[in-house]
Amino acid sequence: ICFKMSHFYIKMAHLKANKQDVNTYSNFDEVTQKFVELDVSIDFDKKELTGTVKTEFEIINPSLQEIILDLHGPEIISVNLVNEELDEIPLKYEIYTKNKDKEALGTPLIIYLESIKEENASEYDKIFEDKLVTIIISFKTTEKCNGIQYLTKEQTYNKKYPFMFTQCEAIQCRTLFPCQDTPSVKAKYKAKTSVDMPLTFLFGGIMKSHYYDSPNKRKIMCFEQNIPIPSYLVAFVAGELEYTKISKRCGVWAEAGLSAKAAWEFVDAEKYIEIAENYLNHPYEWKVYNILVLPFSFPFGGMENPNLTFVTPALLAGDRSMSNVIGHEISHSWTGNLVTNRNWANFWVNEGFTKFMERKLDKNLLGEDMAQLESIVGNNSLISAIKMYGEDSNFTCLSPDFSGVDPDDGFSTIPYEKGYQFLVFLEEKVGEEIFREIMSKYIDTFKYKSVDWTDFKNVYEECVLEKMNRRNARKILNVIDWNKWVTETGFPSYKMEFKSKYTKEVDDLIDQFLKGEENPESALELFKNWHTNVKLAFLDEIKKNIDKFDGSLILKIKEELNLVEAYNDDVKAIWYEITLDKGLSDEIENVKNFLQTHGRLKYLKPLYFGWIQLDLNNAGKFFEENKYLYHPIARRLIQNKFDSQK
- Give the distance from CA 239 to its chain's centroid: 21
Secondary structure tally for the chain: helices H, strands E: 22, 22
Calpha distance 100→320 (Å, rounded):
47
Tell me which H or E stretch contains 228.
strand 218-229
H runs (alpha helix) in 516-582: 520-529, 532-544, 551-561, 569-581
Catalytic residue among 112, 232, 284, 416: 416
Three-state DSSP state, 479: coil
For residue 520, whether the previous peptide bond is cis, meaning omega lies within 30 degrees of 0, is no
DSSP 347-393: HHHHHHHHHHHHHHHHHHHH-HHHHHHHHHHHHHHHHHHHHHH-TT-
Regarding beta strands 236-239 and 200-203, do their DSSP bridges make them parallel or antiparallel, or are they unpaired? antiparallel
Regarding beta strands 308-311 and 289-293, do their DSSP bridges make them parallel or antiparallel, or are they unpaired? parallel
Regarding beta strands 31-43 and 187-196, do their DSSP bridges make them parallel or antiparallel, or are they unpaired? parallel
Three-state DSSP state, 201: strand
Beta bridge partners of 190: 37, 224
User: What's the residue count for the chain?
Assistant: 646
Cβ count near 568 (within 10 Å)? 18
CB half-sphere exposure, 134, CA atoms < 13 A: 14
Cβ(234)–Cβ(166) below 8 Å: yes
Write the CA distances from 73 to 36, 292, 309, integer angstroms. Answer: 19, 26, 25
- Is residue 329 part of the annotated active site? The answer reads yes
Instruction: Give the full edge-to-edge strand order of the sheet including 163-166.
Output: 148-151, 163-166, 236-239, 200-203
Calpha distance 512→519 (Å, rounded):
9
Cβ count near 44 (within 10 Å)? 19
Write the CA distances from 117 to 89, 123, 126, 387, integer angstroms. Answer: 11, 8, 11, 58
Phi, psi of 341 (to 5 degrees): -65, 135
Catalytic residue among 169, 304, 329, 587: 329
Cβ count near 627 (within 10 Å)? 15
Cβ(450)–Cβ(442) below 8 Å: no
Beta bridge partners of 90: 80
- Is residue 416 part of the annotated active site? The answer reads yes
Closest CA to 102 of 206, 25, 193: 25
Cβ count near 519 (within 10 Å)? 11
Closest CA to 203 of 300, 307, 48, 49: 307
Beta bridge partners of 31: 59
DSSP 276-314: HHHHHT---TTS-EEEEEPPTT--SSEE--TTEEEE-GG
Active site residues: 329, 416
